Structure 1
Amino acid sequence: MSLKVFKDHFGRGYEVYESSYRKKEGFSFFLVKGEEGKVLVISGEKVPEGVSFFKKHQMGGKTFFFCERNHENLEILRKYFPDLKPTRVGLKASFGTGDRLGITTPAHVRALRGSGLFPVFAQQSVRENERTGRTWRDVLDDATWGVFQEGYTEGFGADADHVKNPEDLVAAAKEGFSMFTIDPSDHVRNLSKLSEREKNEMFEEILKKERIDRIYLGKKYTVLGERLEFDEKNLRDAALVYYDAIAHVDMMYQILKEEISDFDFEVSVDETETPTSPLFHIFVVEELRRRGVEFTNLALRFIGEWEKGIDYKGDLGLFEKEIKMHAEISRMFEGYKISLHSGSDKFSVYPAFASATGGLFHVKTAGTSYLEAVKVISMVNPELFREIYRCALDHFEEDRKSYHISADLSKVPEVEKVKDEDLPGLFEDINVRQLIHVTYGSVLKDASLKERLFEALEQNEELFYETVAKHIKRHVDLLEG
């Protein structure tokens, strides 16, 4: 067996990821880690056509080709093993695991393997790519190498998240993403900033484009025994908030259909100040269906506060009542799931959310995996953590501007006064969590901090994987009930 021969001859110089081992058409493929980092090893009489390698060894009657983990070699791996290509999720209960570092997927696989949730291992937003300097290709390739490393063969999705413009949409489609989340928040109006006169005038402008009043006025719905009806005021308000946003979504959908034919399409109206009432939910679905937009997921703006990196702030009783209404509406119209954004660490709402939706849901996490990675740094390299902490403090006011958080820097501890053994405990503080959560871009743009952060995580790889997997598994277990 190629793996045994390799370990017998190279065991001292390389760590072998045994879970990655696969055979196909006379070739053996597996990952190892040595002084040159992680590399792909292929055993065979020759390498598959198109594969590039930087050295080869003949040992024990076997020839081993050492190949870089680059995009071109990964594309050939995908031809041999189609499960390394992302696929549609559809209406299965699903869970997204954003990875700002590009090295965390093995931990995500461990957390989700064997669960009832379909994983979306490659998930990143345009905003995150801009701050980390990564591309759609980087995101998908990094996740795929992680999937290969862990020997995961059950399928996964790839989500181009919070896309606002056609250029980013088309670029993600060309790289092979299977899911696209459209963020039309730039086209959503905030009703609280408008006077009644302004609302009426703006609604008249909409009616000049299209007489939607003739479609909706007087239309009635019954949801869990509650009667909902469009009247002049609530139709006006629904149209003001969502009409232009839905037009933008429609435009993006048509562009995407010209690029690819089979994909999951998510509509996100969660990053707004206006909570999505049940009637607003109905308006969005009716308008999307009327325009022929086929969508898999709908992310609503629920009541309460959904801040990054911490648990839900709000009345759980009211949320439970509301999510039951929204879930019933999704069943009434059929064909899509309710999506929960800013899903990281919202432990208190998961039981009600999962129960109400009955498995018709998608949950997104991202920053929480980065937080767990930095927590590992606090365990293994206290001084490096303190540098990261100080960098975060220096850049917090700028970095926080595009995130919904309430962290108060006057309440974060002075890191120099915290004992080494107490540093991991800082991640129980909601202000510290949000401080670290939103400043990832500034930390990763510091070349020295980035290099040492990655080095520390690589040297403590199992602890890193175990820590992240345990935290994500907490999410999964609650969602599975």
Structure 2
Amino acid sequence: MELSKYSVGVGDRFAHQAKAQLQACILAAKAGVEVIPVWNKSNREHTIIGSEPSQTRAAVDAAVKALGWTKPYHCDADHITIATVDRFLAPCDFYTIDVADYIGKPAEQASIDAFVSHHSELLGKIKLEGVDESFEITPELLRATAAKFLFAVQEAGKVYRKIESVKGAGNFIPEISMDETDAAQSPLELLIILAAVADEKIPIQTIAPKFSGRFNKGVEYVGDVEQFEREMALDMAAIRHAVAQYGLPKNLKLSVHSGSDKFSIYPAIHRCMKRFDTGVHLKTAGTTWLEELIGLAEAGGDGLALAKQIYADAYAHREELCVPYATVIDIHPDGLPAPEVVNGWSSDEFTSALRHDQSSPNYNPNLRQLLHVGFKIAAKKGSRYLDLLESNEEIIAKNVTENIFDRHIVPVFLGGKQKSGSEHTA
């Protein structure tokens, strides 16, 4: 099983928007580029909502059948560990193995010594094809990197082998995620990590390193875009070097986690892909749950009333909602409107505050981030929320499709201009 060159991770917390998400990939195909959808949902999200990975698979398969999609598609066991992988073994074929909690924990000294001894080819000057800079890996850097990352890679190997024992070799796509950690990995560290991955015989097809800057959920990238582009280019060069040196899969590519709505870096991603003739896995492309709320608010009536109630409940429980996402959100409490203010908003006022249109003076990134992590509130509404999703399917689907295609696929994979929330696909 091979992941295509271009792919998008799409989350669907309530398993109602698979057709609308797939429609964005159909629009991409009509525009001349194959972008493969990967539906991702983490164990944490399943636990909060009370859903099962099998439900995600069923919704996706139904959408694929309904729309006649004949290209590949995948279901991702997002951010799994050895403790959480079991429930994903039957329904999933893509596994994001999260090793962030193991980074910095040292492997046995004998393992570190063996790794350093085995990889003397890494020492000295390193020339990465496609970049002008030259680099040097010293014995100290090699040993320090092994001490920091080797144990994490060994843990990834345990998870990979458990999946392989059930699914069979070649029947799933493995990814390693190390983005939720304290510092960005340098290209030399990434090269050393990939050597360790090869030693563990994990045929990863994507890897999610940490880039500098902040990748907060559902809002714009915060950081130096030029530095991001430099890091991405060097990481792509390091991957190319590792593939040639260690026999890793030829389609190995970068995965950009929390990639949704990072509009300022999309041109940089596109340029890097063209420069190295490689792909990227953009994960997640489009915050579907927020597009559901926008659609409900646009619909007015009961939909708008429920959207306002969800905000009020999220505001009241904002501390507990934010704790699990503390490293990937940046909410200023004084920037959150009081629920009684929001309760008086019109449909346009609510949607313009929530929709990620930075040209709008009403756009509120604090409100958007709070509602992003507030899906637990909607889950507690049960059938009331789900019934409104179904009765307002058309307007919600329009928002979901346009968001993924216009504001994510077009700038990243087609190199076009990202459209604002007020513009729509013809």
Same-fold call, TM cutoff 0.5 = yes
Q: Does 1:430 align with 2:365?
A: yes
Query: Percent of aligned positions with the same letter in both sequences?
Result: 27
Partner of 2:246: none
Distance in 2 (alpha carbons) for counterparts of 1:226 and 1:317: 16
Which amino acid in 1 is paired with 2:263? F
Partner of 1:375: 294
Preserved contact between residue 296 and residue 392 of structure 2 (Cα < 8 Å): no
Cα offset for 1:219? Answer: 4.2
2:150 to 243, 252, 260: 243
1:417 to 338, 341, 348: 341
Per-residue displacement from partner, 1:196-231 (whole Å, max 9, x unpaired)? xxxxxx68x534664333234634311223222222
Preserved contact between residue 281 and residue 326 of structure 1 (Cα < 8 Å): yes
Distance in 1 (alpha carbons) for counterparts of 2:377 and 2:154: 35
* SS in structure 2 of the partner of residue 349 of structure 1: helix
Aligned positions of 1:231-380 closer than 5 A: 231-260=138-167, 261=169, 262-334=171-243, 335=250, 336-357=252-273, 358-365=277-284, 368-380=287-299
Q: Structure 1's 305 and 117: CA in aligned 2 closer, same or farther, altered over 3 A?
A: farther
Cα offset for 1:343? Answer: 0.9
Preserved contact between residue 395 and residue 442 of structure 1 (Cα < 8 Å): no
Distance in 2 (alpha carbons) for counterparts of 1:378 and 1:241: 47
Deviates more, 1:91-100 or 1:222-231: 222-231
Distance in 1 (alpha carbons) for counterparts of 2:111 and 2:42: 35
Aligned positions of 1:8-157 closer than 5 A: 88-115=1-28, 116-157=33-74
Per-residue displacement from partner, 1:42-95 (whole Å, max 9, x unpaired)? xxxxxxxxxxxxxxxxxxxxxxxxxxxxxxxxxxxxxxxxxxxxxx44242111
Partner of 2:357: none
Per-residue displacement from partner, 1:329-373 (whole Å, max 9, x unpaired)? 222223211111101111111121122133421111177110111
Q: Does 1:180 align with 2:115?
A: no
Cα offset for 1:319? Answer: 0.8
Cα offset for 1:165? Answer: 1.8
Distance in 2 (alpha carbons) for counterparts of 1:256 and 1:124: 17
Partner of 1:472: 404
Q: Does 1:451 align with 2:383?
A: yes
Partner of 1:213: 116
Preserved contact between residue 411 and residue 431 of structure 1 (Cα < 8 Å): yes
Distance in 2 (alpha carbons) for counterparts of 1:332 and 1:142: 39
Distance in 2 (alpha carbons) for counterparts of 1:128 and 1:347: 25
Runs of 5+ in structure 2 lacking a partner?
244-249, 355-362, 416-426
Q: Structure 1's 174 and 208: CA in aligned 2 closer, same or farther, altered over 3 A?
A: closer
Q: Does 1:463 align with 2:390?
A: no
Distance in 2 (alpha carbons) for counterparts of 1:126 and 1:450: 19
Which amino acid in 2 is paired with 1:423? F
Distance in 2 (alpha carbons) for counterparts of 1:91 and 1:302: 23
Per-residue displacement from partner, 1:402-440 (whole Å, max 9, x unpaired)? 211111222111243242131111113111111011121
* SS in structure 1 of the partner of residue 36 of structure 2: strand
Aligned length: 377
Preserved contact between residue 216 and residue 230 of structure 1 (Cα < 8 Å): no
Q: Structure 1's 279 and 320: CA in aligned 2 closer, same or farther, altered over 3 A?
A: same
Preserved contact between residue 10 and residue 37 of structure 2 (Cα < 8 Å): yes
Preserved contact between residue 351 and residue 479 of structure 1 (Cα < 8 Å): yes
Q: Structure 1's 478 and 359: CA in aligned 2 closer, same or farther, altered over 3 A?
A: farther
Q: Structure 1's 386 and 324: CA in aligned 2 closer, same or farther, altered over 3 A?
A: same
Which amino acid in 1 is paired with 2:47? E
Structure 2-normalised TM-score? 0.83
Q: Structure 1's 304 and 145: CA in aligned 2 closer, same or farther, altered over 3 A?
A: same
Q: Does 1:407 align with 2:331?
A: yes
- RMSD between aligned residues: 2.0
Partner of 2:424: none
Larger strand share, 1 or 2: 1
Which amino acid in 2 is paired with 1:338? L
Preserved contact between residue 343 and residue 363 of structure 1 (Cα < 8 Å): yes
- Structure showing greater radius of gyration is 1
Preserved contact between residue 53 and residue 88 of structure 2 (Cα < 8 Å): yes
Distance in 1 (alpha carbons) for counterparts of 2:111 and 2:209: 28
Distance in 2 (alpha carbons) for counterparts of 1:376 and 1:367: 14
Preserved contact between residue 99 and residue 178 of structure 2 (Cα < 8 Å): yes
Preserved contact between residue 97 and residue 119 of structure 1 (Cα < 8 Å): no
Partner of 1:395: 317
Which amino acid in 2 is paired with 1:186? D
Per-residue displacement from partner, 1:16-37 (whole Å, max 9, x unpaired)? xxxxxxxxxxxxxxxxxxxxxx
Preserved contact between residue 82 and residue 158 of structure 2 (Cα < 8 Å): no
Q: Structure 1's 333 and 451: CA in aligned 2 closer, same or farther, altered over 3 A?
A: same
Q: Structure 1's 121 and 250: CA in aligned 2 closer, same or farther, altered over 3 A?
A: closer
Preserved contact between residue 122 and residue 158 of structure 1 (Cα < 8 Å): yes
Preserved contact between residue 100 and residue 367 of structure 1 (Cα < 8 Å): no
Which amino acid in 1 is paired with 2:376? G
Runs of 5+ in structure 1 lacking a partner?
1-87, 191-201
Distance in 2 (alpha carbons) for counterparts of 1:339 and 1:371: 22
Q: Structure 1's 349 and 209: CA in aligned 2 closer, same or farther, altered over 3 A?
A: closer
Q: Structure 1's 275 and 158: CA in aligned 2 closer, same or farther, altered over 3 A?
A: same
Preserved contact between residue 179 and residue 264 of structure 1 (Cα < 8 Å): yes
* SS in structure 2 of the partner of residue 239 of structure 1: helix
Preserved contact between residue 112 and residue 143 of structure 2 (Cα < 8 Å): no
Distance in 2 (alpha carbons) for counterparts of 1:178 and 1:159: 6
- Which structure has more relative contact order (CA 8 Å, sep 6+)? It is 2
Preserved contact between residue 261 and residue 285 of structure 2 (Cα < 8 Å): no
Q: Does 1:162 align with 2:82?
A: no
